[in-house]
Amino acid sequence: MKAVFWGVRGSIPTPGRSTLEFGGNTTCLEVLANSGDEYIFDAGSGIRELGNELMARYKGKVNAKLFISHDHWDHIQGFPFFVPAYVPGCKLDVYSGNKTDSKKLIQQEDKSLTRTFKKKDLEDKVRERTRVLNKSPETNHTKRVFQGQQSVERGYFPVSVGEMNSELTFCDLKEYEFVDRGVRVSYMFHNRHPGGMFSYKIQEVNKKIVNTGDYEQDGKFDSTTKIYEPGLWDNKMIAWAKEADMFIADVQFTFEEYQKKIGWGHSYIEAMCNIAHRAGVKKVYFAHHDPMHNDKVLSELEQYAKSYMKDILKSSTELIYAREGMSVEV
């Protein structure tokens, strides 16, 4: 398999001279399987350039599967500009996880959340989401999200999803895994991000890529001893990513920054270093870079993270800060 980062930024695109090395597009990952099949994970602004590349590569006959981790805007905002979706002869299947199960998991009381999220806030989110779901005539959650983003009636976008001329289908996954031509895509729902999140794993033969999606750790870090103790969801993530060849992890904050952003649904460096190390992954790629972190800051953070992984954890896991355009053979 080959993985290509088309967007590695979190929250909002940050184009400009200060982000040329790491890139300014929001999250989008392409995985080209050895079977020749195209898999795309998330549709942030990076998917626009990917679409142009695919049109040239396949001479206007693109066939791809797109998996959405969640419907926050930085993960879907590029879809209206994805050229293959408009072209007759192209085929695009858009998937998301099982929202019925997700709502149940969001609503269940999880003690690991009490330190980070206010329970009332979660209940309000679930109540509002349920109200919207009940009012909507469209039962397919994935399709409804993209229809809403491109609503002509509301003036959001001049072209509706219905006017996209490719063979376009939207699917809420009914099972926890998708298998096609020797490629297995599975997902784990976690509630370590407001509204819930699907973490995806893609496997082909004996190779494995795991993407946390947006994820906030639930362990405890002692800034004096530099020791981190994983929490309940951390241990689930460790088991999920165990011995992955490529582990893509949300690391938006430093530990100091995180103190002012608890509950925002993103991790800090030391926590994710420990998770990757304990999972025994071969390589970890930190992504979802904060829009406030320019190239200079990210380069400095990368050096610190490498040092922490090697000198403090004594880990053999290779650590890399993801850069837009970076291609990885797995």
Token pair recorded at residue 190: 């976690």
The domain that holds 36 is classified in CATH as: 3.60.15.10
Q: What is the dihedral of CA 79, 143, 74, 173, to 10 degrees?
A: -110
- The CB-based long-range contact list for 120-126 (8 Å cut-off, 24+ gap) reads 122/191, 125/194, 125/195
Lookup: tokens for 39: 């898999």
d(CA 222, CA 47): 39
The DSSP element (H or E) to which 96 belongs, if any, is: strand 91-96
Q: What is the mean pLDDT of residues 103-127?
A: 43
Write the pLDDT tens digit of every residue in 29-44: 999 999 999 999 999 9
Mean pLDDT of the 265-292 span: 98
Q: How far is CA 285 from CA 3, 93, 116, 124, 318, in A?
A: 11, 27, 25, 34, 9
For the chain, how many structural domains are there in total?
1
% of the chain surpassing 70 pLDDT: 87
- 286, 246 in Cβ contact below 8 A? no
pLDDT reported for residue 173: 77
Rounded to 5°, angle at Cα 232 from 245 and 314 = 45
Sign of the torsion angle spanned by Cα atoms 296, 300, 302, 303: positive
Q: What range does the domain containing 158 cover?
A: 2-329
Does the pLDDT value for residue 114 go beyond 50?
A: no
Q: What is the pLDDT of residue 140?
A: 79
pTM given for the model = 0.89
| Per-residue pLDDT band at 139 (split at 50, 70, 90) | low
Q: What is the pLDDT of residue 84?
A: 98
Residue at 173: amino acid letter: L
The pLDDT tens digits for 67-100 are 999 999 999 999 999 999 999 999 999 998 765 5
Looking at per-residue confidence, does 237 or 132 come out higher? Answer: 237
Specify the pairing of strand 227-229 against strand 220-222: antiparallel
CB of 51 within 8 A of CB of 25? no
- Residue 321 pLDDT more than 50? yes
Mean pLDDT across 114-127: 41
Q: How far apart are CA 79 and CA 85, in angstroms?
A: 8
